[in-house]
């Protein structure tokens, strides 16, 4: 047979076939990026591609795909192939006669659109790149190894692959793996990356200066004459200084004369000893400083330390700070360090401490902030020290106003946290006025703190004086202002105190003698502790049916106890004639005489019973008056 002949002629043929089967079985499959039904006019994105579908005629067998700035005409069942993508129109659904609601047809504004199934897959190489650094924070002249891994997960191998990194000045390449090309600061790797494979290469560099830089190489591959860039993650490499200086304040804001702690710490960040040539602390004026005896040298107002710090160790200096007065104080530290290679470094850091003095709190109190003319009122003035440690002394103060002569007082000392009343006057009298007026009362003064600082203070309050006639308001409320004679009227009287002072108000109502009160009371005395409104009383009066006037005048009188004031308020209630009077004024119709010879028919017994029952139920249900 032919097969036997081929085997005899080529005994290695089975091995060749087996190799090809293994080769193609390991061949990477294309990755489907998109697969879905679309309609003419649809626009969608796949990764970085923007795709628009156009189908001009319902029965056309071709579709136009616009991909970014390129246009492809693809027949049903066909594909357009690029070096990186495969665009396919798998099916165009046009069977409108046999379609059901689940089939991919779209009806819009009377137009039917065919469903178009579009698939988009990867094609060619699929290159990814990763890098590993042995460290990104090396010490000076420490070697850093970069391991680069390039993977191809695509269905085709590359025609070429290119990787190159150029390092900045101060960085030197020291080694690289085979297959790379290297100069003093540039490394290059070129190769082909077969499908479903990966390649790895390494290179080593060292940083010869204390610096920070970003490693950002370029990488690209070519396939079918088209170059594609490969994304490479950035890496930041930083060579730390051989030391770290840190200033720490226990509190950034304190009360003047209180204490805070300042810590100065110098860490050795390298594997060799470092030499601190000089650490200088420059304290500001008006701050007392305390440190461990013998730890710092003091020269011309500054403090100094120098010495060696071993690898992995640190030098810590603690100081107590006591500001002698309020203000912001800057503590400056100058540091000079030499590393094991003899390289020198210098640095300046500052720490700011704020010292505060809480100012004296003036307390000005007036018994009533609104009073009527001629009323007595009281003014008092106190001072408070809100500080925890700072005292006040030589306090000179006074109170002034148009209402009274200036009042003065002095205080030698006010301890922290204490309050002292300096002025009290309860014999003051509000002036007599023609109209309401407001007066300012000002407390003022000066004082000194135990930190030898001088301050001034001021506090103002306002008192309003009203004429007695404006001190209270009468409020009248009525159930109605137009009523009929023979009905009732409900009257409610309220008094509003317009001033803050305590007053007593006597209230009474006056009304015509021919009306009568049938409930409630018409007079009382109200007591007010402060401004506000209170109800005096409520009563009901009866208007007689034969009330002759068309108006009813009700007058409320209010007088303030202890003051020569009486006020009143009146209202006219309109009275209309009663229903009975209206009925009496109508002409009376005489009954017509009965014809002669007729007798009045009297109801029988049964009729009387029925009428009695009917009248009973009418009375029960209110139907008969």
What percent of the chain is predicted at pLDDT more than 90? 70
Q: How many CA atoms lie within 13 A of 323 on its CB side?
A: 26
| Residue at which a domain ends, from 71, 95, 122 | 122
Residue 112 domain-assigned? yes
Nearest CA among 335, 343, 330, 331 for reference residue 315: 335
Helix (H) or strand (E) holding 2: helix 2-9
Side-chain-side CA neighbours of residue 128 (13 Å):
6
Q: Give the residue numbers spanning the domain of 277.
A: 243-356
Distance of CA 296 to the CA centre of its chain: 48
DSSP letters along 578-610, please? -HHHHHHTSPPPPPPPPPTT--PPPP-HHHHHH
Residue 561 pLDDT class (50, 70, 90 cuts)? confident
Q: List Cα–Cα distances, 278 to 30, 75, 134, 312, 349, in angstroms.
A: 67, 82, 35, 20, 14
Average pLDDT on 118-127 reads 90
Count CB-CB contacts under 10 A for residue 615.
12
Token representation of residue 339 = 């590393």
- Among 179, 208, 238, the domain-final residue is 238
pLDDT grade for 607, boundaries at 50, 70 and 90: low
Pair (150, 210) in one structural domain: yes
The whole-chain average pLDDT of the chain stands at 88
**Residue 307 in tokens:** 């010495």
Percent of the chain residues past pLDDT 70, beyond the cut: 88
- Angstrom distances, CA of residue 591 to CA of 49, 57, 465, 580, 600: 110, 103, 77, 21, 15
β-partners of residue 407 are 399
Q: Are residues 59 and 98 in the same domain?
A: yes
User: Which of 238, 266, 281 is where one domain is finished?
Assistant: 238
Residues 459 and 498 in one domain: no
Read off the CATH number of the domain in which 477 is found.
Answer: 2.60.40.10
For residue 434, what pLDDT band results from cuts at 50, 70 and 90? confident
CA 68 to chain centroid, in Å, comes to 43
pLDDT of 389 > 70? The answer is yes
Structural domain count of the chain: 5
Say yes or no: 450 and 406 in one domain: yes
Q: Is the pLDDT of residue 77 over 80?
A: yes
Cα–Cα distance between 526 and 518 in angstroms, integer?
23
Question: What is the separation of C-alpha 182 from the centre of its chain, rounded to a whole number of angstroms?
Answer: 56
For residues 25 and 323, which has the higher predicted lDDT (pLDDT)?
A: 323
Closest CA to 323 of 248, 258, 368: 258
Characterize 529-558 residue by residue with b for buried, 16 or more Cβ atoms within 10 angstroms of its Cβ, and e for exposed: eebeeeebbebebbbeeebeeeebebebbb
- Kindly state whether residues 365 and 352 are assigned to the same domain: no
pLDDT at 557 over 60: yes
Q: What is the CA radius of gyration of the chain?
A: 53
Q: Is the residue at 49 inside a domain?
A: yes
Whether residue 611 is predicted with pLDDT greater than 90 in this model: the reply is no
136 and 204 belong to one structural domain: yes
CA distances in angstroms from 536 to 49, 526, 527, 532, 593, listed in the order given? 86, 7, 10, 13, 63
Q: Confidence band (pLDDT; 50, 70, 90) for 25?
A: very low
379: Cβ contacts below 8 Å, ≥ 6 apart? 364, 365, 366, 367, 399, 404, 407, 423, 424, 425, 426, 428, 441
pTM beyond 0.75: the answer is no
Cβ-contact 581, 545 below 8 angstroms: yes
Give yes or no: residues 55 and 143 share one domain. no
What pLDDT, on the 0 to 100 scale, is given for residue 136? 96
Residue 347 included in any domain: yes
CA angle at residue 81 from 55 to 192, to 5 degrees? 160
Q: Is the pLDDT of residue 402 over 90?
A: yes
Report if residue 80 sits inside a domain. Answer: yes
Residue 593 included in any domain: no
**Exposure string for 395-419, b = 16+ CB within 10 A, e = fewer:** bebbbebebbeebebebeebeeeee
Q: How far is CA 265 from the centre of its chain?
A: 38
Q: Tell me, what's the pLDDT at 618? A: 55
Question: Rounded CA gap, 394 and 78, in Å?
Answer: 102
Is residue 13 situated within a structural domain? no
How do residues 271-322 score in pLDDT, each as one tens digit? 999 999 999 999 999 999 999 998 999 998 899 999 999 999 999 999 999 9
Tell me, yes or no, whether 458 and 540 share the same domain. Answer: no
Cα 145 to Cα 5, 52, 202, 203: the distances in Å are 58, 47, 7, 6
DSSP state of 470: G
Range of weakest confidence among 18-32, 59-73, 85-99, 208-222: 18-32
141 and 117 within one domain: no
Mean pLDDT in residue range 435-444: 95
Q: Is residue 564 part of a domain?
A: yes
Contact 500, 484 (CB under 8 A): no
Alpha-carbon span 422 to 395, nearest angstrom = 10
What pLDDT is stored for residue 20 in this prediction? 44
Q: Are residues 398 and 414 in the same domain?
A: yes
Same domain, 249 and 340: yes
Which CATH number do you get for residue 229? 2.60.40.290
Angle, alpha carbons 55-61-65 (nearest 5°): 45
Position 24 confidence tier, pLDDT thresholds 50, 70, 90? very low
In this structure, is residue 588 part of a structural domain? no
* 323 and 427 co-located in one domain: no
């Amino acid at each position: 047979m032919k097969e036997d002949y081929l085997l005899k002629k080529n005994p290695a043929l089975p091995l060749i076939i087996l190799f090809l089967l293994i080769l193609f079985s390991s061949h990477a499959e294309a990755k489907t990026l998109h697969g879905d039904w679309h309609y003419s006019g649809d626009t969608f994105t796949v990764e970085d591609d923007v795709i628009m579908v156009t189908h001009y005629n319902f029965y056309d067998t071709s579709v136009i795909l616009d991909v970014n700035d390129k246009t492809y005409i693809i027949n049903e069942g066909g594909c357009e192939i690029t070096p990186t993508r495969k665009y396919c129109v798998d099916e165009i659904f046009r069977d409108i006669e046999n379609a059901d609601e689940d089939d991919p047809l779209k009806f819009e504004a009377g137009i039917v659109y065919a469903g178009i199934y579009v698939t988009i897959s990867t094609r060619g190489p699929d290159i990814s790149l990763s890098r590993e650094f042995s460290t990104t924070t090396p010490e000076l002249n420490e070697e850093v190894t970069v391991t680069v891994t390039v993977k191809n997960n695509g269905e085709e191998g590359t025609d070429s692959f290119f990787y190159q990194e150029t390092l900045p000045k101060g960085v030197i390449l020291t080694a690289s793996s085979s297959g790379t090309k290297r100069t003093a600061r540039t490394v290059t790797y070129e190769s082909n990356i077969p499908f479903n494979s990966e390649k790895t290469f390494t290179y080593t560099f060292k940083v010869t200066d204390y610096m920070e830089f970003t490693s950002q190489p370029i990488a690209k591959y070519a396939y079918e004459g088209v170059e594609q860039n490969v994304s490479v993650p950035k890496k930041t490499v930083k060579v730390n200084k051989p030391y770290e200086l840190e200033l720490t304040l226990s509190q950034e804001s304190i009360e003047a004369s209180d204490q805070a702690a300042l810590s100065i710490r110098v860490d050795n960040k390298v594997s060799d000893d470092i030499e601190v040539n000089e650490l200088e602390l420059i304290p500001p004026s008006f701050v007392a400083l305390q440190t461990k005896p013998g730890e710092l040298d003091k020269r011309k107002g500054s403090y100094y330390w120098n010495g060696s710090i071993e690898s992995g160790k640190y030098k810590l200096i603690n100081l107590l700070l006591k500001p002698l007065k309020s203000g912001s104080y800057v503590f400056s530290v100058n540091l000079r360090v030499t590393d094991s290679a003899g390289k020198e470094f210098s640095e300046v850091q500052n720490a700011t401490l704020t010292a505060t003095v809480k100012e004296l709190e003036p307390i000005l109190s007036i018994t009533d902030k609104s009073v009527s003319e001629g009323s007595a009122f009281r003014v008092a003035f106190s001072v408070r020290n809100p500080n925890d440690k700072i005292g006040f002394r030589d306090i000179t103060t006074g109170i002034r106003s148009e209402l009274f002569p200036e009042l003065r007082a002095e205080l030698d000392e006010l301890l922290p946290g204490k309050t002292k009343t300096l002025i009290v006057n309860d014999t003051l009298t509000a002036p007599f006025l023609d109209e309401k007026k407001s007066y300012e009362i000002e407390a003022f003064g000066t004082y000194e703190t135990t930190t030898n600082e001088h301050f001034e203070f001021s506090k103002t309050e306002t008192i309003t004086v009203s004429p007695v006639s404006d001190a209270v308001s009468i409020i009248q409320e009525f159930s109605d202002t137009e009523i009929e004679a023979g009905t009732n009227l409900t009257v409610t009287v309220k008094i509003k105190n317009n001033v803050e002072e305590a007053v007593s108000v006597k209230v009474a109502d006056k009304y015509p003698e021919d009306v009568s009160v049938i409930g409630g009371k018409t007079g009382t005395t109200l007591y007010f502790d402060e401004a506000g409104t209170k109800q005096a009383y409520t009563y009901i009066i009866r208007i007689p049916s034969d009330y002759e006037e068309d108006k009813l005048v009700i007058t409320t009188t209010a007088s303030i106890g202890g003051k020569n004031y009486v006020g009143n308020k009146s209202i006219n209630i309109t009275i209309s004639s009663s229903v009975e009077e209206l009925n009496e004024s109508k002409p009376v119709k005489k009954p017509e005489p009965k014809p002669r010879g007729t007798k009045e028919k009297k109801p029988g017994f049964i009729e009387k019973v029925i009428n009695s029952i009917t009248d009973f139920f009418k009375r029960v249900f209110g139907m008969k008056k």
